[in-house]
Amino acid sequence: MNVHTSGSDCIELRRVYRYFGKTKAVHDISFSVARGHVFGYIGPNGAGKTTSMRILATLDLPSYGDAFVDGFSVINDPELVRRRLGFMPDSFGTYRDVNCEEYLDFFARAYGLIGRERTRRLRWVLEFTGTIGMKDKPIRGLSKGMKQRLCLGRALVHDPAVMILDEPAAGLDPRARIQLRKMIRELADRGKTILISSHILTELAEMCDAVGIIEQGQLLATGSVDEIQQQRNQTRELTVRILDRAADAAAQLVAAQQESDTGAAPSHLLGEPIVDGELLRFGFAGDVRDQSELVVWLVERGFAVAEVASHRKSLEDVFLQVTEGLVQ
């Protein structure tokens, strides 16, 4: 047994490579996820997300490097990893003619749960996933959303420390996605570490503590959305609504920025303002205090500032800027 300690990190990939012939499915991937955190793994189809997840789930071996789940190596201690891991693939097999409780009971027994412990875990999983009301219903009669809940329950039945969810919201209606998102966040609040991939980036932004962006097998960026923006010097867009004289305000801002004595000019403006009716739009690298100083500067010069709004780039914006749309 080879125990690898890495502080509070419950998932760790350390310089993982996976080649299929000449195809570099995963190339020198390293990242970690702290206990109780949700990490969003995003990238175009064929980027290497599923391959990375399969390696963590001990369903594939890296060509080089190693990965650790709850401190145990996927190479040296796969059985110990499996006891600590719940894996929900993007597609899963079900037995059409068994009911929900029988399905979950089969996997509970496969994990070695017996007696009262198995009964208790089955009851909890059915209640948590909202399937207890249809525990006697054959799987063939379940909707897509309920099947996804059942698959999540299967991954949870042995109470793993780590959850790996590959596109769990694919094909779900909006209500089912919202409910799934709440369940994932509640699991993290209970201390479970979750690695999740999805193409629904707005949902990942809401539930994840950090994200990793992968393309052509290489990890391009990791961290929170704000951290990735800072790493790449990305800024907010500021919109200022000025009544009547927006073009004059823009001209004065440009003139002030071009003066040799820039101390009197508003700071943190990037580029020239774009005039759109009563609106001025421009890049802005400052914080809220800098934003208020800009408003004071405009008001002191007689401009009627009616509204100020800032727009921070979304996860979708960041994804489009970091990736190039390349596939292997």
pTM of the model: 0.77
In DSSP terms, which residues pair with 275 in a beta bridge?
Answer: 280
| Residue partners of 203: CB distance under 8 A and separation at least 6 | 169, 177, 181
Distance of CA 58 to the CA centre of its chain: 22
| Predicted pLDDT of residue 312 | 67
| Predicted pLDDT of residue 41 | 93
CATH architecture of structural domain 236-312: 2-Layer Sandwich (3.30)
| Predicted pLDDT of residue 234 | 58
Tell me the average pLDDT across 242-249.
90
Domain boundaries, the chain: 9-229, 236-312
| Predicted pLDDT of residue 6 | 46
The 10s digit of each residue's pLDDT in 220-230 is: 989 887 777 66
- Please give the mean pLDDT across all residues of the chain: 86
Nearest to 166 by CA among 304, 43, 264, 25: 43
| Predicted pLDDT of residue 2 | 42
Q: Which residue has the higher pLDDT, 314 or 290?
A: 290
- The DSSP bridge pattern shows strands 236-243 and 304-311 to be antiparallel
CATH of region 9-229, choose from 3.40.50.300, 3.40.50.170, 3.30.70.270, 1.20.1260.10: 3.40.50.300
The 10s digit of each residue's pLDDT in 166-214 is: 988 877 888 888 888 899 999 999 999 999 998 878 778 788 899 999 9
Tell me the average pLDDT across 50-69.
95
| Residue partners of 121: CB distance under 8 A and separation at least 6 | 108, 113, 157, 158, 159
| Predicted pLDDT of residue 146 | 87
| pLDDT-based confidence at residue 261 (cuts at 50, 70, 90) | low
Asked whether residue 1 carries a pLDDT value surpassing 50, the answer given is no
Angle at 193 between CA 170 and CA 50, to 5 degrees: 40
| Predicted pLDDT of residue 65 | 96
Sign of the C-alpha dihedral computed for residues 219, 225, 231 and 235 taken in this order = positive
The 10s digit of each residue's pLDDT in 88-135 is: 988 777 777 899 999 999 999 999 999 999 999 999 999 999 989 989
Q: Which of 18-27, 275-284, 305-314 has the lowest mean pLDDT?
A: 305-314
Tell me the average pLDDT across 292-304.
90
